């Protein structure tokens, strides 16, 4: 199950709901069993997904902390059944639904059987575009539900080739499911933002930083900046990725020679210099591990001639 893919429509990534970490782990374990490709077999409201206690233990628990596993899974099963999610639709329409229509917890067989709500299935199946995916194992070390939500947002944004994102505080509260909580900015910063960033920086491939904007005496927005840790040598002194260095790399003759047939390049990217540079800046940020022919910093070294 560790390598199962979690795929969700971006509309669901940006939806609002409140959920504990244990519920989120159970939900994602079920979602990761769905083949979300457009040509996959159809899933309906009768389709059942089984998660065993052993699978949950292997992915999310360390040996010293699994004494309450059965209790945690039972409680998560009960709570998940009652969780509502609000998804923004076109115009001012909103869809209010549940994630699941049924949950069966079986302690004798050490498993949970889940059926998804009919209205949620279009956001998990037959996905053709505008969706986010990652491996279940990628969030296995995140212990805060806010860290998991922020991680999903970051994966969503990088999938759209965005490496910084500004959100109004109210919009951020909405997406994180805390509109009625942490009303004081200091509480939101400490218990949601800082905690989530710390966990992501410590336990995932991303490095995240945040800046806040203030109008008068009130904070009104926050800006997240993020990049893969594989790009650490291209950071500035403040730890943020240097756009200047990335731009310089993709302009070098050696980089062009090394990657002019890079498999993700479009036809225009292979034929047009400006398109090549524009596309490769995004690909370098998003898939840095695929650029391993030589250390990236070597492209920044002066060329010795003669």
pLDDT at 2: 66
pLDDT exceeds cutoff 70 at 65: no
pLDDT band at 64 (very low <50, low <70, confident <90, very high): low
User: pLDDT tens digits for 250-295?
Assistant: 999 999 999 999 999 999 999 999 999 999 999 999 999 999 999 9
pLDDT band at 180 (very low <50, low <70, confident <90, very high): confident
Strand, helix or coil for residue 115:
strand
pLDDT at 170: 95
Share of the chain above pLDDT 90, in %: 87
Distance CA 179, CA 230 (A): 35
pTM, to two decimals = 0.94
pLDDT band at 41 (very low <50, low <70, confident <90, very high): confident
User: pLDDT tens digits for 68-107?
Assistant: 888 999 999 999 999 999 999 999 999 999 999 999 999 8
pLDDT at 306: 45
Q: What is the 3-state secondary structure (H, E, C) of 280-298?
A: HHHHHHHCHHHCCCCCHHH
Q: What are the two backbone dihedrals, phi and then psi, of residue 85, each rounded to the nearest 5 degrees?
A: -135, 140
How many angstroms separate the Cα of 30 from the Cα of each of 51, 132, 197, 241, 288? 7, 16, 26, 35, 30
The length of the chain in residues reads 306
User: pLDDT tens digits for 182-224?
Assistant: 989 999 999 999 999 999 999 999 999 999 999 999 999 999 9
Tell me which of 109-113, 179-183, 279-283 is least confident.
179-183
pLDDT at 1: 73
Strand, helix or coil for residue 14:
coil
CB 95 within 8 A of CB 119: yes
Residue with structure tokens 């457009």? 38
CB-facing half-sphere around the CA of 221: CA atoms within 13 A: 8
pLDDT at 302: 74
| Phi/psi-derived region of residue 185, left when phi > 0, alpha when psi is between -120 and 50, beta in every other case | alpha
Q: At what angle do helices 145-159 and 169-176 cross, to 10 degrees?
A: 110
pLDDT exceeds cutoff 80 at 37: yes
């Amino acid at each position: 199950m560790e390598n199962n893919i979690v795929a969700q429509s971006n509309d669901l990534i940006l939806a609002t709901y409140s959920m504990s970490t244990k519920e989120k782990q159970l939900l994602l374990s079920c979602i990761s069993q769905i083949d979300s490709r457009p040509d996959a077999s159809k899933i309906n409201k009768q389709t059942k997904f089984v998660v065993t206690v052993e699978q949950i233990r292997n992915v999310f628990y360390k040996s010293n902390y699994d004494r309450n596993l059965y209790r945690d899974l039972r409680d998560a099963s009960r709570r998940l059944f009652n969780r509502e999610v609000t998804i923004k639709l076109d115009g001012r329409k909103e869809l209010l639904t549940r994630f699941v229509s049924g949950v069966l917890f079986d302690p004798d067989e050490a498993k949970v059987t889940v059926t998804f709500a009919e209205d949620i299935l279009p956001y998990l199946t037959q996905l053709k575009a505008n969706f986010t995916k990652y491996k279940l194992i990628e969030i296995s070390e995140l212990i805060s539900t806010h860290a998991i939500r922020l991680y999903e947002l970051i994966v969503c944004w990088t999938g759209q080739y965005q490496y910084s994102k500004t959100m109004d505080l109210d919009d951020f509260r909405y997406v994180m499911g805390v509109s009625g909580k942490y009303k004081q900015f200091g509480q939101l910063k400490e218990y949601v933002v800082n905690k989530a960033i710390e966990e992501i920086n410590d336990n995932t491939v991303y490095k995240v930083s945040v800046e806040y904007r203030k109008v008068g005496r009130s904070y009104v927005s926050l800006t997240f900046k993020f990049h893969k840790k594989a790009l650490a040598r291209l950071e500035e002194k403040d730890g943020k990725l240097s756009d200047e260095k990335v731009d310089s790399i993709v302009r070098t003759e050696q980089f062009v020679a090394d990657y002019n047939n890079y498999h993700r390049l479009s036809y225009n990217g292979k034929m047009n210099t400006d398109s090549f540079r524009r596309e490769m800046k995004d690909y370098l940020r998003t898939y840095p591990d695929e650029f391993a022919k030589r250390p990236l910093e070597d492209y920044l070294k002066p060329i010795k001639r003669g």
